[in-house]
Structure 1
Amino acid sequence: MSVFQLFDLTGKVALVTGGGRGLGKQIAEALAEAGCHMAICSRKLENCQETADQLGEKGVKTLALACDVTSKDDVKAVVNKVLSQFGRIDILVNNSGATWGATVEDMPAEAWDKVMNVNVKGTFLMSQEVGKSMIQKGSGKIINIASVAGLKAEPEEVLNAIGYSTSKAAVIHFTKDLARKWAKHQVYVNSIAPGFFPTTMTKAVLDRKGKDIVSHIPLKRIGDENMLKGAALYLASSASDFVTGQTLVVDGGASL
């Protein structure tokens, strides 16, 4: 097998949550360019449809769906629709996420619940439902989008969102535990921990403290629209067929 074949996803089917914009959209673009048919879901159907239309121009089949990943009924309905249209799900990218900036002493309990529900419960529910079909066919790749915030405790002037950081640390351990449980089914589970990238979620903090944040990154820059694509393609493809339960950190060295 050539090195190019290792990264070829022709004929595969991927489901990307939160794929209508930001990092999820970038990942969806990478997988589509490698030949993967794409199903994209998020709470905002219009974003997903716009991205799906763009990806369809690459010659792959696409499907846009609305989904609240914290709802078991929504998750089940979305997975059933993808399986009905494509017949299989080879790759799942759990990218949907939420955050809430506040000091620990001021963070509302409802905000904590929202962040944990989307980032942790949503990852669990989608993995559980998609995993059933992967176990049945004896193969699959699950990629959970964690964060460098789940690996280190940032000073409050950089990031003051303890619910987000805690949820992403949970995602990292969930990845390890699920990889251990499902290795016998040839279902691979890995995660990516991005550092600072320009997204809707990070815009406010980057606008306020971007220069200070960059000064603490060894490579002296934040991520751009291409820097996550290679990591996602690697974990989604046969190139990573001896890798499971791992977290690939893409942060410019910020966690060193």
Structure 2
Amino acid sequence: MQRWVGRVALVTGASSGIGYEVARSLVKHGMKVVGCSRNTSKIQELADDLVGEAGSLTPMQCDVSKEDEVLSMFDNIKSSFGGVDVCVNNAGLSHDAPLLTGDTEQWRNMFEVNVLGLCVCTREAVKSMKERGVDDGHIIQLNSAVGHFQYANNPGGHFYSATKFAVTSLVEGLRKELLKDNTHIRVSSLSPGLTETEFSYRMFAKHPEIAKKKYSQIENLKSVDIADAVIYALSAPKHVQIHELSIYPTEMAT
């Protein structure tokens, strides 16, 4: 990670869960981290806790489903830090919205955050790298195990799974576009299995007992496990691309 010291990383969805731990880890490894979320109070608390570490954390308010807010955020990053060298697209959400009975607005919200928001942030991050001649930048997409297969017992998550299947396809498409442009900017997809965060509690907000049961069945992954995977991908030598990394709890049945 030595080559990343002093360089700039954007982490979306940094106010909780995986994004929170990724931001913390990157700061401890000496990076200047911009953590974005719709509400930045938790990010500011983390930034205060990390004062004195090798790097720094700057909160920025941004709803990644709104393109104007994303563009404004990248303008702020450019004026404050010059640009982005690493982009960790972590922001994502699911609603309990089955395909036969789900709410259209909830489907739209998932698509706008999990797919379009990720794409806009990726486009702007690569643009920032190219403008400054950064040839070793890195895009990390927080995918999911359900971006490769579906859980048969969770109809409420089928649309969410579809958005993550889209991410799987987009990663390979981006890799090929970067190759065509003769750049060494890399892209990595990290696909965690069940990770104990606020994610399921938000998904099943009306039925928290479902989330509680889901997390109580096995020993789940922790957010720090995924943050460690981000560091692993970033630490790979220049000629090595961690293209797809699946991370499952040992006890998880697929």
Length-normalised TM-score, structure 2: 0.88
Say if 2:37 is the partner of 1:42: yes
Conserved 8 A contact 1:38-1:52? no
Q: Hey, which bits of structure 1, 4+ residues long, moved more than 4 A?
A: none
- For residues 119 and 80 of structure 2, the distance between their equivalents in structure 1, rounded to whole angstroms, comes to 23
CA RMSD of superposed structures (Å): 1.9
- For residues 8 and 188 of structure 1, the distance between their equivalents in structure 2, rounded to whole angstroms, comes to 15
1:176-212 deviation digits (Å, cap 9, x = unpaired)? 1111101322211111111111111124444023344
Cα offset, 1:104, TM superposition: 2.1
Matching residue of 2:121: 126
- For residues 107 and 163 of structure 1, the distance between their equivalents in structure 2, rounded to whole angstroms, comes to 9
1:102-147 deviation digits (Å, cap 9, x = unpaired)? 3321111111110010000000011111110112223210001011
What is the count of residue pairs matched by the alignment? 242
Conserved 8 A contact 2:89-2:140? yes
Matching residue of 2:71: 76
| Structure 1 unaligned blocks of 5 or more | 1-5, 215-220
- For residues 250 and 198 of structure 1, the distance between their equivalents in structure 2, rounded to whole angstroms, comes to 13
Moved more, 201-210 or 222-231: 201-210
Conserved 8 A contact 1:8-1:35? no
Conserved 8 A contact 1:176-1:245? no
Written as runs of structure 1 = structure 2, the 5 A alignment for 1:138-153 is 138-139=134-135, 140-153=137-150
Say if 2:26 is the partner of 1:31: yes
Matching residue of 1:226: 224
1:150-198 deviation digits (Å, cap 9, x = unpaired)? 1111022x56311210111111111111111013222111111111111
- For residues 211 and 165 of structure 1, the distance between their equivalents in structure 2, rounded to whole angstroms, comes to 22
Identity %: 28
Say if 2:172 is the partner of 1:167: no
- For residues 199 and 159 of structure 1, the distance between their equivalents in structure 2, rounded to whole angstroms, comes to 20
- For residues 245 and 128 of structure 1, the distance between their equivalents in structure 2, rounded to whole angstroms, comes to 20
Amino acid at match of 1:241: K
Q: 1:152 to 1:82 in 2, by over 3 A?
A: same
Conserved 8 A contact 1:175-1:245? no
Q: Match of 1:234, SS?
A: helix
Cα offset, 1:88, TM superposition: 2.7
Cα offset, 1:229, TM superposition: 2.1
| Structure 2 unaligned blocks of 5 or more | 202-207
Amino acid at match of 1:94: N
Q: 1:175 to 1:56 in 2, by over 3 A?
A: farther
